[in-house]
Amino acid sequence: MCLIPAGSFRMGTDDGFPFERPVHEVRLNAFWMDKHEVTNEQFGNFVDATHFKTDAEKFGWSGVFDPREGKWTKSDGADWRHPTGPDSKADPKHPVIHVSYADAEAYAKWAGKRLPTEAEFEYAARGGKHDEKFAWGNDLYPGGKQMANAWQGMFPFEDDGKDGFKGLAPVGSFPANPYGLFDITGNVWEWTSDYYADDYYKQSPNENPKGPDAGKERSIRGGSWLCAENYCLGYRVAARNKTEPDSGLNNLGFRCVKAAKP
pTM, two decimal places: 0.96
In 37-157, which ranges are continuous DSSP H helix? Answer: 40-50, 55-59, 101-110, 118-126
pLDDT in tens, 202-256: 999 999 999 999 999 999 999 999 999 888 889 999 999 999 999 889 999 999 9
Distance, CA of 195 to CA of 182 (rounded, Å): 25
Task: State the pLDDT confidence band at 67, using cuts at 50, 70 and 90.
Answer: confident
Could you report the per-residue pLDDT of 3-25, keeping only the tens digit for each? 999 999 999 999 989 999 999 99
* pLDDT at residue 31, rounded to an integer: 98
CB 171 within 8 Å of CB 163: no
